[in-house]
C-alpha cells in the first residue's frame, strides 16, 4: 500500500471535514477519515502551561464558547470550553494518538515555540514518514529542520511570489499557496526544482479540477468529498 503522501493527487482535509463538523476537533478529523480523506490538516498553538493544542485562531472567541487568547489559558481551562457539538479543543498528542496509522498529517505551526514539542511528538508516535510540518513562519520551518532534518516541511504563502526560492533555501519539499494565485508557471517552476505544490483552500469542485489539470500535487479543502461531488 502506498504511503499517505505518495498518492498522485492529495486531497487534504482542512481542519478536518470542517465544512461538516466543528473545525480542528477529533470529530472533524474522524469524519474526514470516514469520508475517505488520506491526509488531515491541523493548526498548532501553545497553552499558558506549555501544552500543544489544535486550534486555528490566536483566541478561542470564534470557535468556542469562551473568550481570550489561547496563550493566556492553561490546558485545563481550554479543555473546559465547548469547541462545537460538545467537542473539546484537542491536544496535538491526542490527535496523533487517535489517528496515527489512519491518515497523514499536515501540521501547521501557527506560532514560534511549538517546534521542539511537535518534533518530539512526531518521533514518539513514529510519524516521520506520515507528516508534513508547514508554516507561514520561516523561523519555525528552519527550527524544525534543525531539530529533525528527516521531517518534510512546507512553506505556506499567500501570493506565491518568490516562494520557490524561499522554500528551497529553507530545505522545504512543499510549497502551499492560496489557490487564487496559483498559476501553471508557478507549478512548473516549483516542480522543476523538486518541490510539491499544494493550494489552499479549495471548496469548489470545478476549481479543484482546474488546479489538478494545471498539475498541482494537492489541494487543501474543507470538503473531503470535493472531487466526488
Ligand atoms: O495549510 C494551509 C492553510 O491552512 C493556511 O491557512 O488560515 O487556514 O491556516 P489557514
Ligand atoms: Ca492551517
Q: pLDDT digit of tens for each residue in the chain (229 aa)?
A: 578 999 999 999 999 999 999 999 999 999 999 999 999 999 999 999 999 999 999 999 999 999 999 999 999 999 999 999 999 999 999 999 999 999 999 999 999 999 999 999 999 999 999 999 999 999 999 999 999 999 999 999 999 999 999 999 999 999 999 999 999 999 999 999 999 999 999 999 999 999 999 999 999 999 999 987 5
Matching residue, cell 489561547: 70
Alpha carbon nearest to ligand 1 atom 10, residue: 56
| Percent over 90 (pLDDT), the chain | 97
Half-sphere exposure of 85 (CA within 13 A, CB side): 10
180 is catalytic: no
Strands 152-157 and 174-178: parallel
Mean pLDDT across the chain: 97
**Is the Cβ atom of 172 under 6 angstroms away from ligand 1?**
no
**Is the Cβ atom of 176 under 6 angstroms away from ligand 1?**
yes
Q: What is the pLDDT of residues 173-208, one digit of tens each?
A: 999 999 999 999 999 999 999 999 999 999 999 999
**Is the Cβ atom of 134 under 6 angstroms away from ligand 1?**
yes
Give me the pLDDT at residue 1, please.
58
**Is the Cβ atom of 14 under 6 angstroms away from ligand 1?**
yes
Give me the pLDDT at residue 229, please.
53
User: Could you tell me the distance, in angstroms and rounded to a whole number, from the CA of residue 44 to the centre of ligand 2?
Assistant: 9
Contacts of 44 (CB under 8 A, 6+ apart): 52, 53, 54, 92, 107, 108, 109, 110, 114, 118
Alpha carbon nearest to ligand 1 atom 1, residue: 108
Give me the pLDDT at residue 2, please.
76
- Catalytic residue (one of 51, 56, 125, 180): 56
Q: Which of 58, 108, 198, 221 has the most ligand 1 atoms within 8 A of CB, as the residue to mutate?
A: 108
Alpha carbon nearest to ligand 1 atom 6, residue: 200
Alpha carbon nearest to ligand 1 atom 2, residue: 200
Give me the pLDDT at residue 46, please.
98
**Is the Cβ atom of 220 under 6 angstroms away from ligand 1?**
yes
| Percent of residues in the chain assigned helix, strand, coil, to nearest 5 | 35, 25, 45
Global pTM exceeds 0.95: yes
Q: Residue 189: which of 213, 162, 218, 220 has the closest Cα? A: 162
Amino acid at each position: 500500500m502506498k504511503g499517505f503522501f505518495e498518492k498522485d493527487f492529495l486531497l487534504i482535509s482542512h481542519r478536518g471535514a470542517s465544512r461538516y463538523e466543528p473545525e480542528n476537533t477529533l470529530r472533524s478529523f474522524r469524519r474526514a477519515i470516514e469520508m475517505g480523506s488520506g491526509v488531515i490538516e491541523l493548526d498548532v498553538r501553545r497553552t499558558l502551561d506549555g501544552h500543544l493544542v489544535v486550534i486555528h485562531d490566536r483566541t478561542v472567541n470564534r470557535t468556542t464558547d469562551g473568550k481570550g487568547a489561547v496563550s493566556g489559558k492553561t490546558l485545563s481551562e481550554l479543555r473546559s470550553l465547548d469547541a462545537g457539538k460538545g467537542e473539546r479543543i484537542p491536544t496535538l498528542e491526542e490527535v496523533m494518538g487517535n489517528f496515527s496509522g489512519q491518515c497523514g498529517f499536515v501540521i501547521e505551526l501557527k506560532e514560534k515555540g511549538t517546534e521542539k514539542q511537535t518534533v518530539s511528538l512526531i518521533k514518539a508516535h513514529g510519524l516521520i514518514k506520515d507528516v508534513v510540518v508547514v508554516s507561514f513562519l520561516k523561523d519555525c520551518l528552519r527550527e524544525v529542520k534543525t531539530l529533525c532534518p528527516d521531517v518534510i516541511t512546507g512553506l505556506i504563502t499567500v501570493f506565491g511570489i518568490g516562494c520557490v526560492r524561499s522554500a528551497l533555501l529553507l530545505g522545504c519539499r512543499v510549497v502551499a499557496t492560496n489557490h487564487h494565485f496559483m498559476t501553471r508557471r508557478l507549478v512548473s517552476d516549483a516542480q522543476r526544482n523538486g518541490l510539491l505544490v499544494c493550494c489552499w483552500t479549495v471548496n469548489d469542485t470545478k476549481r479543484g479540477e482546474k488546479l489538478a489539470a494545471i498539475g498541482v500535487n494537492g489541494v487543501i479543502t474543507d470538503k473531503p468529498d470535493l472531487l466526488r461531488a
